[in-house]
Structure formats: C-alpha cells, structure tokens
Structure 1
Amino acid sequence: MLAHTETIKEVEGAATQHSDDITRLQTEVARLTAETAKLSDKCEDLEGRSRRNNIRMIGIPEGKEGTHPREFISQLLTDLLSLDQKPLIDRCYRSLRQRPSDGQPPRPFILRLHYYHVVEDILRKATSSGNLIYQGKRIQLFPDYPPTVVNRRREFTPAREILRNKPDVRYRLLYPARLIATHGASTQQR
C-alpha cells in the first residue's frame, strides 16, 4: 500500500511538472509568435523603403532598349511625360523572369531613380497624362511595391472594377492596402 501511495505521489508530481512545462511553453510560443509577426512587419517595411525610389514600367516591347536600357528609358520618360530634363536613373533592368515567347506580354522594367521627388513627379505626370503610348503600345507606370503589399492590394481588384464603372464614385488605394471610396459627401474606408 505504501508503494502505491509513493507511486501516486510521483505521478501527481510529474503531472504537475508537465502542466507547468506546458504552460511555460505556451507562454513562450505566444511571445515568439508576437516577435515573429513584429519582425515580419519590420522586414516588409524595410523592403518597402528600399523600393521607395523604384518605378515599375510595363508595356515596352522586348529588345527596344538595345544595349543601353538606362539611357533608352531616361529618354523615353522625357519624351512621354514632357519632362524638363532627363531623370537620373541609377539602375534599369527588366524583371528577372524568363524572356517571353512571341505573343506573350513583355517583361516589366524596374527603374531605380536617384531622387525620390523625381519618382513622385514621374508618377504624378503619368497619372494625369492618361494613356501613355510608345510605338502603338500602352505604357503603364506604377510604384514598385513588395510582393506582400501587391498581394494585399490585389484583394481590392474586384471592388475597384465595380467602382470604376460608377460615374459619381471616386476611389483611391492608399499604401499599403486601404481602399477609400467617395460618393458625394460620403466616404467609406476598407
């Protein structure tokens, strides 16, 4: 009987110890989950800041840039947007995916401009100019966002398509991914 009492006490002690260990581990997992989320947000923010001076340019046919894409794009932007002077481009390259075959859309250009105010000016002029056309092809300019931000913004595409067809509704998509729609004096945010 004494042996059973001691065995029961050992089992109770072990169960208490295991319960304490589980509680401690759950607390640690919660802390690590919060820290991981914080670090993930920080990485996304840093990636966004590193792309701040970048523009994504879509629609330029493959091979038109020749062997000097920086000079080609700088001159093209000057001509398309009627800029006072050529923008100073640090880097200019096509996205790193495989070269498309005939009939597929061309790879976008990624431009790294030296000055942020030039990026703002180019994007503003591109928006106000409406359709930009180069050799019969429509050219589009966008800020170069990190993939996580692009995916979050993409979730608003169906809503934006609906709003685009409403004549009295104005909308805009704010960074990172917030849709604001205005109808008369009423404003809604999502």
Structure 2
Amino acid sequence: MDAEQKREERLKTNEESLRELWDNVKHTNIRIIGVPEGEEREKGTEKIFQEIIAGNFPNTGKGPLTQIQQAQRVPYKINPRRNTPRHILIKLTKIKDKEKILKAAREKKQVTYKGTPIQLLADFSAETLQARRECHDILNVMKGKRLQPRLLYPARLSFRFEGESKPSQISKS
C-alpha cells in the first residue's frame, strides 16, 4: 500500500469517526418539522413540545414527564424554493424518552400540532442523513420485491429473505 492509499484510508477513517461523534452528540435529539413560525415567541419551544406530547400521546404522560435539556429553533438555511418553517430541536436528558416518543409517533403515523400535521424525527449528522437518503432507491426496489427492508442505524440496510433477516452494510461506490 503506497502513501497515497494510506492517506486516503486514514481520511476515510477520520471522516467516519467524526460522523459517529456527531451522531453520538445528537443521539438524544428529536427534530420537529412543520410547527408554524412564531409559535415559540408566545409559549417557548419547550411548551410547544409538551403540548405536542400531551395532545398526541396521552399515554406517555402517565409516567414521569420527559425532561428537556434544551429546546430551540434551528437557524435558517436559505433556500428560496422552499417556504417551510424552521425545524425545532429538542434535546432530551434520556435516550429512552426519545425512543419512546419516536416509537409512539411511528405507531400513530399522523402527529399534529393545532390541527397541522408535523413530523417527529431522530436527529442525525448531515453525513448520516445523506447516506440514508442514498438508500431510498434500493429500499423502494426491495419493497417491490416484498423483502421487507428496514433502514438501521446509522445507514445499514436489513431485509427479510426466506424468513431470515439479512443485514447489509451500504457502501459508496
């Protein structure tokens, strides 16, 4: 292996480590998409999140209230073609709370805030999101062949074939 190949390999390893570090920092975050701008001025982002949880998942409110470490609107990424509100980022203190909320959101399928449909998503690094986006064509083909594909963390693919689950690493080629 020559010096150029070693440098490329080291660069790839460093980029992967950086992506994993960012994902680790964001592992307790929930990203809320679709809440109209200006709502947080009246109530604050934490109150909006609590209203979303109480209104959509009344059963999760029976346990201890989810502790919010930080809540904020993300800054604008200027894109004149999209006129969507900025996302809200909620940093929770416990990963189990995040997983419980996201699981309830997936089961409910339609989460709303004041009648407006919104999305609750896990927050990943830009690199992980890009890798997951690149998998969508593959997922659609696999769904068409009834292989029951699933996207695993961070950007791994799993599918059922002849009753067995087959994990697969996604590589960039």
Same fold (TM over 0.5): yes
**1:38 equivalenced with 2:13 (yes/no):** yes
Q: Look up the SS of the partner of 1:170 in the other structure.
A: coil
Alignment partner of 1:91 is 2:66: no
Does the aligned pair in 1 maintain the 2:45–2:88 contact within 8 Å? no
1:71-118 deviation line (CA, Å, top 9, x unaligned): 2212322322222243211111122115888x8222211111111111
Aligned pair partner of 1:73 in 24, 34, 49:
49
Of the three residues 112, 120, 128, the one matched with 2:107 is 128
Aligned residues: 163
Shift of 1:56: 1.0
- The Cα offsets for residues 142-171 of structure 1, whole Å up to 9 and x where unpaired, read as 1101100100100122343455677x5533
Larger proportion of helix: 1
| Structure-2 separation of matches of 1:99 and 1:41 | 27
Pair 47,98 (structure 1): closer, same or farther in 2 beyond 3 Å: closer
Give the structure 2 partner of residue 60 of structure 1. 35
Residue 151 of structure 2 aligns with an amino acid whose one-letter code is L
Q: Give unmatched runs, 5+ long, in structure 1.
A: 1-25
How far 1:140 moved relative to its partner? Answer: 1.1
Higher relative contact order (CA 8 A, sep 6+): 2
Q: 1:170 aligns with which of 122, 143, 148?
A: 148
Flag the 1:165–1:60 CA change in 2: closer, same or farther, 3 A.
farther
Where does structure 2 lack aligned partners over 5 or more consecutive residues? 169-173
Larger Rg: 1
1:54 Cα deviation from its structure 2 partner: 0.6
Q: Percent identity at matched positions?
A: 23
